[in-house]
A and B are shown apart, each in its own frame.
Chain A
Amino acid sequence: MLKNTRNILTLTTPEGISFSFPLAGPVIRMFAWLIDIIVIVGILSIIGTVLSLAGFLGSDFLNAIFLIVFFAISFGYGMVFEWFMRGQTIGKRVMRIRVMDEQGLKLKFSQVAIRNLLRLVDIMPGLYLVGGVTSLVNSNSQRLGDIAASTVVIRYYRVSEPDFDQIVGGKFNSLREYPHLAARLRQKVSPREAGIALSSLMRRDSLEPDERVNLFGEIAQHFKTKVDFPQEAIDGISDEQYIRNVVDVLFRTRVGSVA
């Protein structure tokens, strides 16, 4: 079963498990396409240079070879890369997007071939107008080639494991001095709120200093309304340290139970 909600494609397995993929919009796809164009031009330039060195073969033969190579690369680039790189071209890899079957099944060669062959119609009358407009109005952001091939283009992210030790490990946590309040905090905080706290710590190094102070100030303010810890537990610690302590309490129920 598939469902689309605001550029998110959600698939539900017969076991009742749902997983979702953010769909790639026309702009991000256009950037990927521009990168691919640069790569194609680069490949053709290299081939052109190599062929020009083989002048002894005669201009007629070399022109014929170049025409065929030009045609083959223009059409075959997308097919070959998407097939061998599991739905990605170089441009798509750079932009972190991928072609996949719209039902979550394995991508087949026929699907890759059809979506690339129908590019001819999608680029009409120029600058991907047909494909761009179609993907804007289509609920799955599909161009005509994607509709015919039953494929979608999704965004994906680099998946890294959260490093808890780096965030919370081995440091004194003043909130743990009050186990009954820590237990109440765990009870009152929803998984979504806990996730926001964790994400903010995971991404703290990517924030500008001012933004970082403001963000942790806002999040700390929110969590302070959940449970009222005594003043001595929170005195002298920064908002960021407070959130660090909150995450430690929420995600590590028994200190030392796992090393």
Chain B
Amino acid sequence: MIIDLKKFMKEEKPRWAELEKLLDRMESNPDDKLDLATVQRFYYLYQRASSDLAKLSTFSFDRETKRHLESLVARSFGEIHETREKAHRLSPINWFFVTLPQTFRRQIKAFWVSLLITCLGVGLGTIAIIVDYDSKSVIMPFSHLQGAPSERVAKEETSVPDDKMPGGMATFSSYLMTHNIKVSIYTMALGMTYGIGTILMLFYNGIILGAVGADYILDGQAVFLFGWLLPHGSVEIPSILLAGQAGFMLAGALIGWKNKALTVRGRLREISSDLVTIVIGLAIFLVWAGIIESFFSQFHAPVLPYSLKIALGSIQLLLLILFLTFSGREKKTKEA
């Protein structure tokens, strides 16, 4: 049996048009709340379109009409069966002070793994410099770190910061921001290698950090080191750890550490919002770190006393820890 397609379309088209109009309305205004009668009408139209699609698939083979109906049914299906939390109206302040720290704490285990891997790297870098100082040229492929720290300190303390930054401070600052964000996204994205890529990135980063630290401390330049690193490092290093956290969240979802009952697809869906929250959060931190590194960290004594730089860096680190630990916590209500 083949249906009379023209008659069928003439009868059904007004309902398809009504359904399409409703879908357009819902898709363009996600916050718009439909009244009960409209919801009932929408469900009726969806069922009717589904039934038309089934009829068309069985009794006709008109591809164009079938595709049109398929797209309507697919869009309606998405609206009706979507159970994930709907997007709210964007509230940046609430997102930053509540959503971001809450997300960080919800995924804290991945952060600890990230911190552990970095610490292992720092340990290895430190040991490598202590045991075999010549390994410095292999571990630190940066020309400005190859010489003796005391020589660099003497040079830094007599030069004007603007002279040593190619292109000027603003260019240097934006270079640092974009470069560090890119490296962080790599660290996160490499979580798709079941975490191996993320481990390598964090571990290598830790090795460099440990080697630089050991090199400066052994040369008696600990004060310069902390004065140079703390102002921006107190935000930059935690940001890289957050990138590692995001990477391990991805890896965890692939491996199934947390919820073995769900499929890989289900686990990836579950973490997607948290993942994006962490990445946007760390990008904001890295923008700040880039500004500080370019406009503050590069000024040394006698222009800026090391005590001031160390104090500001330490306060910043403390504030960041407090922010991530306590911000957005719901007050506990006293139980009766």
- Residues of chain A touching chain B, judged by Cβ–Cβ distance below 8 Å, are 11, 13-21, 59-61, 63-65, 67-68, 70-71, 75, 86, 101-102, 104-106, 108-111, 113-114, 117-118, 120-121, 144, 147-150, 156-157, 159-162, 164, 186, 189, 191-196, 198-199, 202, 250-254, 257-258
Interface size on B, residues (CB 8 A): 65
Q: Is the CB of B78 within 8 A of A106?
A: yes
Q: List 7 A-B pairs, Cβ < 8 Å.
A: A19-B73, A63-B171, A109-B87, A110-B272, A159-B67, A159-B68, A252-B5
Q: How far is the CA of A255 from the CA of B67 in the complex (A)?
A: 26
Interface residues of B in 166-186 (CB under 8 A from A): 167-171, 173-175, 177-178, 181-182, 185-186
Contact of B4 among A20, A106, A109, A257 (CB under 8 A): A257
- Residues of chain B touching chain A, judged by Cβ–Cβ distance below 8 Å, are 1-2, 4-7, 9-10, 27, 47, 50-51, 53-54, 57-65, 67-68, 70-71, 73-74, 77-79, 81-82, 84, 87, 167-171, 173-175, 177-178, 181-182, 185-186, 188-190, 192-193, 197, 250, 265, 268-269, 272-273, 275-276, 279
Q: Which residues of B contact A162 (CB under 8 A)?
A: 5, 62, 64-65
Q: How far is the CA of A132 from the CA of B76 in the complex (A)?
A: 32
Q: How far is the CA of A16 from the CA of B57 in the complex (A)?
A: 13
Q: Is the CB of B189 within 8 A of A118?
A: yes
B99 CB to nearest A CB, Å: 12
Decide: A113 near B279, CB < 8 A? Known: A61-B170, A120-B186, A202-B64.
Answer: yes
Q: Is the CB of A117 within 8 A of B78?
A: no
Q: Is the CB of A195 within 8 A of B78?
A: no
Q: How far is the CA of A22 from the CA of B177 in the complex (A)?
A: 41
Q: Among B9, B51, B73, find the residue whose CB has the most chain A CB atoms closer than 10 A.
A: B73
A127 CB to nearest B CB, Å: 17
Q: Which residues of A contact B87 (CB under 8 A)?
A: 108-109
Interface SS of B by simple majority:
helix
Q: Is the CB of B53 within 8 A of A105?
A: no
Q: Which residues of A contact B2 (CB under 8 A)?
A: 186, 189, 191, 194, 250-251
A8 CB to nearest B CB, Å: 12
Q: Is the CB of A114 within 8 A of B60?
A: no
Q: Is the CB of A68 within 8 A of B77?
A: no
Q: Among B27, B51, B268, find the residue whose CB has the most chain A CB atoms closer than 10 A.
A: B268
Q: Is the CB of B60 within 8 A of A191?
A: yes
Q: Which residues of A contact B71 (CB under 8 A)?
A: 156, 159
Q: Among A109, A148, A193, find the residue whose CB has the most chain B CB atoms closer than 10 A.
A: A148
Q: Is the CB of A254 within 8 A of B4?
A: yes
Q: How far is the CA of A241 from the CA of B70 in the complex (A)?
A: 31
Q: How far is the CA of A68 from the CA of B172 in the complex (A)?
A: 11
B65 CB to nearest A CB, Å: 7
Q: Is the CB of A108 within 8 A of B6?
A: no
Q: Among B6, B51, B78, B173, find the residue whose CB has the most chain A CB atoms closer than 10 A.
A: B6
Q: Which residues of B contact A63 (CB under 8 A)?
A: 167-168, 170-171, 174
Decide: A64 near B174, CB < 8 A? Known: A17-B50, A105-B78, A195-B63.
Answer: yes
Q: Is the CB of B171 within 8 A of A114?
A: no
Q: Is the CB of B272 within 8 A of A192?
A: no
Q: Among B59, B71, B78, B84, find the residue whose CB has the most chain A CB atoms closer than 10 A.
A: B78
A223 CB to nearest B CB, Å: 13
Q: Is the CB of B77 within 8 A of A104?
A: yes
Q: Is the CB of B60 within 8 A of A67?
A: no
Decide: A120 near B189, CB < 8 A? Known: A109-B87, A194-B2, A250-B2.
Answer: yes
Q: Among B27, B54, B79, B185, find the residue whose CB has the most chain A CB atoms closer than 10 A.
A: B185
Q: Which residues of B contact A159 (CB under 8 A)?
A: 64, 67-68, 71
Q: Which residues of A contact B54 (CB under 8 A)?
A: 16-17
Extra contacts, 9 of them, besides A121-B193, A251-B60, A252-B6 (Cβ < 8 A), are A11-B74, A15-B50, A17-B53, A59-B168, A105-B82, A106-B79, A109-B87, A120-B189, A160-B64
B24 CB to nearest A CB, Å: 11
Q: How far is the CA of A17 from the CA of B53 in the complex (A)?
A: 8
Q: How far is the CA of A110 from the CA of B78 in the complex (A)?
A: 16
Closest to A160 in B: B64
Q: How far is the CA of A67 from the CA of B170 in the complex (A)?
A: 10
B189 CB to nearest A CB, Å: 4
Contact of B173 among A64, A147, A150, A257 (CB under 8 A): A64
Q: Which residues of A contact B192 (CB under 8 A)?
A: 118, 121, 144, 147-148
Q: How far is the CA of A65 from the CA of B61 in the complex (A)?
A: 56
Contact of A111 among B63, B178, B272 (CB under 8 A): B272
Q: Which residues of A contact B169 (CB under 8 A)?
A: 60
